[in-house]
Amino acid sequence: MRFSGKTIIVTGSGKQKGLGQGILERFADEGANCVVSDIVIDDEAQLVADGLRGRGAKVAAIACDVSDAAQCDALVLQTVDAFGAVDILVNNAGIGFMMKPLLDVVSADFAKVISVNLNGAFYCTQAAARAMVKRQEETGKGGGRIINIASQAAKTGFPHLPAYVSSKHGMIGLTRASAVELGMHGITVNAICPNHVTTALGAEQNLYFSKLLGFESVEAYVANMAAKNPMGRPGLPSDTASACAWLASEEAHYITGEALNVSGGEEMH
């Protein structure tokens, strides 16, 4: 129960089988108060919240479109109202739908992906860090953890994903820039770079790339991906959740500004 009494927000965590749900389940099991947040709190998000309650966690479900700075501020304020503080923020909300060749991408689509994946992480980082610093000034009890769910696409270029790849590379820049300024407040900021995980977003990408690359089926495409991975399988939400739990733990208090691959060895730099 390492996170007993701590409060975690995970943006974009309202989908079943998503990385966000997996992360919250891990923290619920280790005693944290959990904030499920997504662009809307629909029936699926309520199911995620109910599942966490079933694991014994105190849970709030708060709608937040991360591309809107005011909603990110409100997410943090409502969390502080509900639980007294924000200890851990995971910037997980992301979109990757816009799969098109570079030459066909329209500027509005490019901007949309950046506004959710990168601007959203910035707005939430700023809002949470302000609350963490304020708590330090008022109570002397400071510190916090911010974790950005980037991607293998934060370190390597992939075809037909120019906005996604750019946004994820940008998240590493945001991680480093935030880490150098927030260290003095006892706040660490790190990124996690998962390889493919078959979530809602991952399934869309599988469908597109299996067709693009001429595989006879999505299953054949995924099997080929698994065969090329040193550990012999794609990622799971629990792989990313374990890395988050470690980065949020006391064990990792001197680790900041890193971009940690969680890819079974698929990405090594």
* Measured distance CA(112)–CA(119) in Å, rounded: 10
* Measured distance CA(181)–CA(132) in Å, rounded: 13
| Least distance from ligand NAD to the Cβ atom of residue 40, Å | 8
Give phi and psi for 171, each to the nearest 5: -65, -30
Task: Return the sign of the alpha-carbon dihedral for residues 202, 203, 206, 207.
Answer: negative
> Annotated catalytic residue: which of 164, 208, 221, 254?
164
- Of 7, 33, 67, 125, the residue at the interface with ligand NAD (CB under 6 A) is 67
* Chain-centroid distance, C-alpha 174: 13
Smaller CB distance to ligand NAD: residue 64 or 182?
A: 64
Q: List the 88-91 sheet strands across, edge first.
A: 59-63, 33-38, 7-10, 88-91, 144-149, 187-194, 259-262
Q: Which amino acid is at 93?
A: A
Is residue 245 near ligand NAD by the rule CB under 6 A? no
Block residue for tokens 């966690």: 57
Subset of residues 15 to 44 that bind ligand NAD, contact rule: CB under 6 A: 15, 18-20, 38-39
Smaller CB distance to ligand NAD: residue 42 or 251?
A: 42
* Measured distance CA(129)–CA(108) in Å, rounded: 30
| Least distance from ligand NAD to the Cβ atom of residue 211, Å | 17
Q: Does the active-site annotation cover 164?
A: yes
* Measured distance CA(239)–CA(265) in Å, rounded: 12
| Least distance from ligand NAD to the Cβ atom of residue 208, Å | 12
Smaller CB distance to ligand NAD: residue 13 or 135?
A: 13
* Measured distance CA(162)–CA(75) in Å, rounded: 29
Is the separation of the CB atoms in 234 and 198 below 8 Å?
yes
| Least distance from ligand NAD to the Cβ atom of residue 254, Å | 25
- Of 6, 9, 14, 266, the residue at the interface with ligand NAD (CB under 6 A) is 14
Task: Give the strand pairing for 88-91 and 144-149.
Answer: parallel
Is residue 197 near ligand NAD by the rule CB under 6 A? yes
Q: Which residue is nearest to ligand NAD (CB)?
A: 94
| Least distance from ligand NAD to the Cβ atom of residue 263, Å | 9
**Stretch in the footprint of ligand NAD (CB under 6 A) among 127-135, 191-199, 209-217, 244-252:** 191-199
* Measured distance CA(64)–CA(15) in Å, rounded: 14
- Of 124, 194, 260, 267, the residue at the interface with ligand NAD (CB under 6 A) is 194
DSSP-assigned letters across all residues of 134-185: HHHHHHS---EEEEEE--GGGTS--TT-HHHHHHHHHHHHHHHHHHHHHGGG
Subset of residues 141 to 160 that bind ligand NAD, contact rule: CB under 6 A: 149, 151
- Of 12, 144, 170, 264, the residue at the interface with ligand NAD (CB under 6 A) is 12
Smaller CB distance to ligand NAD: residue 115 or 133?
A: 115
Catalytic residues: 164
User: Which residues are at the interface with ligand NAD (CB under 6 A)?
Assistant: 11-12, 14-15, 18-20, 38-39, 64-67, 92-96, 116, 149, 151, 194, 196-197, 199-202
